[in-house]
Structure 1
Amino acid sequence: MKQPIYKRAMMKNLIIILHLLFGFNIVVSQSSQILITGKVLESNNNLPIEYATIAILDNNSKKPLTGTITSEDGTFSIRTTGTNYYIEVSFMGYETKIFNDFEIINNTIDLQTIILSVDNHALDEVVVRAEKSQLEFKLDKRVFHVGTDLSSTGASSLEVLNSIPSVNVNIEGEVSLRGSQGVQILINGKPSVLATADGNALGSITADMIEKIEVITNPSAKHDAEGTSGIINIIIKKSEKRGVNGSATLNVGVPNSNSFGLSVNKRTEKFNLFSQLGFGIRTYPDERKSINQDLINGTTITSFGESEFDEKFANILIGTDYHINANNVITLSGSYAYEVEDQFSKTNFSQTDASNSATDSWLRNEITEADNPKLRYELQYKKNFKRHKDQSLLFSALGNSFRKDQFSDFENTVVLGNDDDFKQKTRTDYTLEDYTFKLDYTHPFLEKYTIETGSQYVINSVSNDFAVSDLVNDEWINNPDLTNVFDFNQKVLGIYTTAAYEGDTWGIKLGVRLENTNLDTLLQTTNEQNGDNYTNLFPSIHTSYKINDNFSLQAGFSKRIRRPGLRELNPFSNIRNNFSISTGNPDLKPEYTDSYEITSIHKIGKTTLNFSLYNRYTVDVVERISTFSNNVSTSRPENVGTNTTTGFEANGKYAPTNWFSVNGDFNINYFYRKGVFETVSFDFKGNQWATSLTTKFKLPSEFDLEISGDYRSRYKTVQNEIADNFFTDMGLRKKILKGKVILNLSIRDVFASRIDESTTNQPDFYLFNSRKRGRFVIFGVSYGFGKGEAMEFSGQRRR
């Protein structure tokens, strides 16, 4: 009698565990062992079957004595001390073979070649079970199993992602999780060039290549304490390794958004070769306005300017995955990019006195040129274990280098007043080197328990050589007050361990991460050194309770850190606007946050809903503090007290029909700030909220329409008030040639309403700043070949 599929799978796992448990007894009784060997092939093409189960069972009790699985070439070898047993060979989807009559020669049983025939009844059972995609709630993640309803459609991975609750993919291919776009995407549990935000290659992964997708909204101590908005892990089927897959896209836009990209993957039994090539020209316009008002003497300086940032770029990437065998893979990749930047700006300044009469007026022009070479290289090794499908060891080494050579010329032309015309120029030599080394090990045991452990070492080295010169009597004179070399060196060593229990309805995961940070900064010209060396413990705990398949509760706590970066530490300023200066603070300390979250997950028919309550308590909060002197405002980050934030978030997806769906997110929080800076109290309470809504329509003739809106409310900081903001994006897409070619029209900020505004009201000064980027219209043509899907986004570069 044939065993049901699910019973065979359970028996396979049980046999492997028993094999390990009995391993000790097998060793001590070596002298009485019988060696059993053979090779398992499938009947259609006589190809080897990997992971077929070999079970040695007692003839009387029918209980397993030991067992193993076949290797990549279908062979197996196992020893037993039993005397009354039979041998069972099985694999999901194939008829089981049982051996009761065998010959023992020199303590060896050679079963030679074993041919397994397809079990048509079992295959039908599997197809029915996997016909519809399923969402499974796990301890600290949600697992979306891709069924034939999606895999048979030829859809891309982006469309599959868009079918998952809490995940949204806009028409340009940008992935967001619970409304945030800071998502880390992994392929088979590790970073991949196919998943980088600017790689534009996710379109080469199609639904029929995907086994499942894991969504982690609240990462544990295994991940960087710096934090992340979430992780999406795409698991590729092992059977989808062969063939040539690729995508190409061509885009044109107003303002300039012209680019070409090509992504090609060649998959064989042992190798996965991938390459990318891209180049383009883009323009980013900008409008800025500022007001500096001295409330003591009544003088006001107003500026209004327009700028245009032009970028030309080219990049190439080559890499390979080498599958040593079924359980070991090495990945080696390298990429090089070169960017040429040109920026032009014109800003009109005017000064008025207390009676609002104009006293001075001048025009400030800027011309900036920069070259940016970038290099990235990566080595990864991943080992899976036959003992358990989730047992793995991963080592990765990643290196990044970046250099910026920038030159700027400024010219002030007096229109009104007694000041003289003058010229300035700046030079920036910027170099960055980053190295990351990671080692992760995952060990499941006793079916419901898992231990994870590993380490990470990150090295950041940055040098910024900045110089300002003034033209005096036709001679360029260095300005020592604005010229210096700033060096930033940071090393972070992290070690973590997590332990998890995950039952059918309840689970818990505990973790702890230890990180040591060694930071040194140096102002070379003044020999001003700052350093910090600190060690922190970052615990985490996550638990979940599944009430039923459509309703689950999750809760979590984690301690996070936000270390100040180079821009916040570097004391240099940009002189684009001499009256609105922003600098860094070498003495800045990191922020620490205790984060609590409770989430309920509902699935009601064609609707999925998530509701979250969260509380975050942050110490040494970093806020920019503005000072004012001689009509010049200087903004500098400072550690100012604590912040307690309590909030509620709701997001959902509703797809009542095949042609319409709506995805929405709403977040509101209340915060309480406490702090004193230079004897001034900054205690206050406030709130802010944001909402977004995306609707998608499948129109006749293979047209897709997408409209999204985003609103962010007005809110307060320590000194500033940030204005509310609303903008709308729209996209129209047309598939032709069975989806291999996609025509795409997208309009970003349809009404040109995305304007960032802030005001600062203090007893002795008033500041106003605004920035407007404008509307972008882009048309793209994409083509997918092989098993690749046409890229479903316009190619707008992420910045």
Structure 2
Amino acid sequence: MTFPPRRAALLAATGLAAISASAHAQTATPSAPAKKEQPNQVQGVTVTAPSAQDIKTSIDRRSYSLGKDLQATTGSVADVLRNVPSVQVDVQGNVSLRGDSNVTIMIDGKPSGMFKGENRGQVLQQIPASQFERVEVMTNPSAAFSPEGTAGIINLITKQQRGVGTTGSVRANVGTEGRKNGSVTLARNTKRLTLSGDAGWRRDKAKGEITDDRQRLDTASGQYATSRQKIGFASHGQSHNARGGVDYDLDKQTRLSAEVRYNDMEFDSKAGATYQGLDPAGKPSVAYTRLVDGVMKRSVAGVSGDLRRKLSGDEHEFTLHASLERTRDRQINDADGFNQLPTASTYVEHVSIGDELVQGRLKAEYKRPLPGGAKLVAGYELQVDDNDYDNFGARGPTSGSLTVDPSLTNQFKYDQTVHALYVTYNRPMGDWTVMPGLRVEEVKIDTNQVTSNLKDGYDYLRAYPSLHVQYKVDDGRQVNASYSRRIQRPTPGDLNPYRIYQDPYNYRQGDPRLKPQTTDSFEVAYQMRKGFNYYLGTLYWREARDGVTDVLRELPGGALLTTKANLAKSRSGGLELVANARITPKVSYTISGNTAWTEIGATDLGFPDKRSAWTVSGYAALNVQATPKDFVQVSGFAIGKRLTPQGYREPTGMLNLGYRHKFNDRLSGVVTVQDALKTFGDKLVINTAALKDRRTMDLDLRAIFVGFTYGFGGNGVPNPRRPREPAFDFGTPGGGVGPM
């Protein structure tokens, strides 16, 4: 790729800053004798805390343990994320941070194709939470991380088998209505070699109903034409996941690592839909019935390799990471349609929607201690995405007379290349610690709507600064302030200009010239820790421009077209409170609440002025260690009314129950109840002058699980070799608040 002179200069400036600082360190700092390695090192200043603590913090992130969440024993990643402060997950598994759905999800600090695309919510509802030990939340990541995801980053930390020799565990759970899941983990640790692996299987079931009541303004009469669509659906399927890893120490300074991952899921579903439409005079004008058999398949396979080389001095190292991952999606629907109005007719429809993403990554990073306790981190990242979308559809009066339907058939290609240079500088100054950072990215995007013969492309160079400041009030209190600039690039589907048929009631269409959303995020947080008890208050503010959002408008005949648009501007801010404390030695609680204000500039969507609203959401859990072997948990969350560009979403919530009995040091049993009151759902209201719509999804998520976990090996002896670094953890001492 060739860079224009201005862009080359900006990229070079970032690299030269890192090289200059590195050269200064080499001339100013003599090589110190190698110290015993501190495991799980982190760039930046971190907080030292006992491993048993539920919440750990550093200058740029917060980490929440899943050890006490009983839903993590039987549930999916989506289930436990609902219990993490700042995080919300809707009924379809879609994740948002403080109301913003533009979230980057990682595993052990590395992005994954599993969490990209329209079906990532379903993946989160299938991956077992028992694989993971902690959840890290970064609402203002430093420049060392990709700026993708305006809301921030959620990082899932996998469990580590730390015992000497051979260790492992077996887990199995049985739930209501045929739900089942199980997993096994295994590790072999020697002085220089670690072999690890895990595998899981999950069978799930879902059923529910969608009701859509719509009013469309007839400009000729000034009256509204009404319609109602009801969809009942049921699906069942299963998923599998497997991972294998190897770490080998060539010597005390060099470690080689490799890992392979695989995940697949397949769901069969049946749905029945009825539609009735009235003209502005209230006379029936459209009526049909539609029956659909569907199959959804998704698989993700990836391989990665790492080289870590420790150089002279403490925390002086070079790392190299490379990965290749392929994600395949396929949805096949066969429908039988029966039209009653305006004329009686029948039809058969076959639709196949597929896409494939091949993603390659290369990352090189250099860390160096500098005089005065400062630390430098500099690196280069390359990301190459190759997306192919292949949609096919055919219709006809009978299954034996299908012909290709142009409204159902199209091919779209999307290629993206990202080059990035970044540098962060961490400097303690007494009770203060500052960590400025800068990331510069060159992005090139090419789109090709093959069916329409429409090619497009653009490239841009942008800088993403970050700044984190930490002030230690005393041993139990600290104040953090941060700023970061982040973006949300449109998805490949957002850029596809072809009008795609979904059903007779809905179409969608992208725009190849969409710009990425840019968000400037500011935060100030005050935290206090006293022994087990932890309290956190965070004030935050976000300014966003060019936000990509759904825009709905009516087509002739009453169908709805969903398009994408860049909103002019939006603002949001709020106060988030978190408390994790003990009431008695046997009773503890976790509670978090978020009061947020959002303003959307929606004049381009038919509103006369800016729209704003307040939203209140929260989570609470009560934990009771009734006896040394019996643990009881009651938890739940509530999400208030949320503003959307053309309306709002109504409040919702869920109550969960759990009980765990420890038979001995190796065997424990658990019973959990999810959505005990069956209150969780989704209600979307669109309220414009031309279109009024109320869409209600009632999805039955209530389930009861009974299961057990058995651990073996280890004999209680810790692993004598260095543990595998999970990319982010909190073992390194630094300027922060420790226990009192």
TM-score normalised to structure 2 length: 0.79
Structure 1 residues 278-287 or 489-498, which shifts more?
278-287
Report whether the alignment pairs 1:178 with 2:105: no
Distance apart, 1:463 and its partner CA: 0.7
Question: Counterpart in 1 of 2:720?
Answer: none
* Cα distance per residue 1:343-396 (max 9 Å; x no partner): 2111122223445455554321111124434311111111223411x2222211
Distance apart, 1:538 and its partner CA: 0.4
Distance apart, 1:269 and its partner CA: 1.0
Distance apart, 1:676 and its partner CA: 4.3
Letter in 2 for 1:407: I
Using the alignment, how far apart are the partners of 1:580 and 1:377 within structure 2? 38
Question: Counterpart in 1 of 2:332?
Answer: 407
Q: 1:324 to 1:230 in 2, by over 3 A?
A: same
Report whether the alignment pairs 1:719 with 2:719: no
* Cα distance per residue 1:176-199 (max 9 Å; x no partner): 653327796776x87999xx9877
Q: Secondary structure at the match of 1:295?
A: strand
- Map 1:326-725 onto structure 2 (within 5 A): 326-354=252-280, 356=282, 358=284, 360-388=286-314, 390-414=315-339, 418-472=343-397, 474-571=400-497, 575-604=501-530, 606-629=532-555, 630-674=557-601, 676-677=603-604, 681=608, 683-700=610-627, 702-725=629-652
Using the alignment, how far apart are the partners of 1:257 and 1:587 within structure 2? 44
* Structure 2 contact 598–643 (Cα < 8 Å) conserved: no
* Cα distance per residue 1:157-186 (max 9 Å; x no partner): xxx546888725332223665332779677
Distance apart, 1:669 and its partner CA: 2.1
Distance apart, 1:67 and its partner CA: 7.6
Q: 1:678 to 1:697 in 2, by over 3 A?
A: closer
Using the alignment, how far apart are the partners of 2:36 and 2:70 within structure 1? 43
Letter in 2 for 1:634: L
Distance apart, 1:338 and its partner CA: 3.8
* Structure 2 contact 407–499 (Cα < 8 Å) conserved: no
Distance apart, 1:436 and its partner CA: 1.4
Letter in 1 for 2:316: Q
Q: 1:384 to 1:236 in 2, by over 3 A?
A: farther
Question: Counterpart in 2 of 1:220?
Answer: 142
Structure 1 residues 339-348 or 161-170, which shifts more?
161-170
Letter in 1 for 2:432: W
Q: Secondary structure at the match of 1:481?
A: helix
Distance apart, 1:71 and its partner CA: 9.8
Question: Counterpart in 2 of 1:248?
Answer: 170
Question: Counterpart in 2 of 1:146?
Answer: 50
Does 1 or 2 have the higher relative contact order (CA < 8 Å, sep 6+)?
2
Q: Secondary structure at the match of 1:567?
A: helix
- Map 1:65-80 onto structure 2 (within 5 A): 68=33
* Structure 1 contact 728–751 (Cα < 8 Å) conserved: yes
User: Any stretches of 5+ residues in structure 2 without a counterpart?
Assistant: 1-24, 73-79, 89-102, 114-122, 717-740
Q: 1:524 to 1:682 in 2, by over 3 A?
A: farther
CA RMSD of aligned residues (A): 3.6
Q: 1:205 to 1:632 in 2, by over 3 A?
A: closer
Letter in 1 for 2:613: G
Using the alignment, how far apart are the partners of 1:754 and 1:23 within structure 2? 58
Q: 1:273 to 1:470 in 2, by over 3 A?
A: same
Question: Counterpart in 1 of 2:183?
Answer: 261
- Map 1:758-777 onto structure 2 (within 5 A): 758-774=684-700, 775-777=702-704
Letter in 2 for 1:780: G
* Cα distance per residue 1:273-327 (max 9 Å; x no partner): 0122223322222321112222325432211111122223333332211111222
Letter in 2 for 1:733: R
Question: Counterpart in 1 of 2:5?
Answer: none
* Cα distance per residue 1:526-555 (max 9 Å; x no partner): 111221201100011111110101111111
Q: Secondary structure at the match of 1:677?
A: helix
Question: Counterpart in 2 of 1:276?
Answer: 198
Q: 1:301 to 1:186 in 2, by over 3 A?
A: closer
Using the alignment, how far apart are the partners of 1:727 and 1:22 within structure 2? 58
Letter in 2 for 1:250: A
Question: Counterpart in 2 of 1:60?
Answer: none
Q: Secondary structure at the match of 1:225?
A: coil
Using the alignment, how far apart are the partners of 1:699 and 1:224 within structure 2? 45
Using the alignment, how far apart are the partners of 1:241 and 1:702 within structure 2? 23
* Cα distance per residue 1:550-595 (max 9 Å; x no partner): 1111111111111111232234566554213343332221000111
* Structure 1 contact 538–560 (Cα < 8 Å) conserved: yes
Letter in 2 for 1:470: R
State the percentage of identical aligned residues.
Answer: 19
Q: 1:235 to 1:669 in 2, by over 3 A?
A: closer
Aligned residues: 645
* Structure 2 contact 407–500 (Cα < 8 Å) conserved: no
Letter in 2 for 1:172: Q
Letter in 1 for 2:559: V
**The one of 37, 49, 64 aligned to 1:167:** 64
**The one of 209, 227, 250 aligned to 1:287:** 209
Q: 1:269 to 1:192 in 2, by over 3 A?
A: farther
* Structure 1 contact 203–247 (Cα < 8 Å) conserved: no
Larger Rg: 1
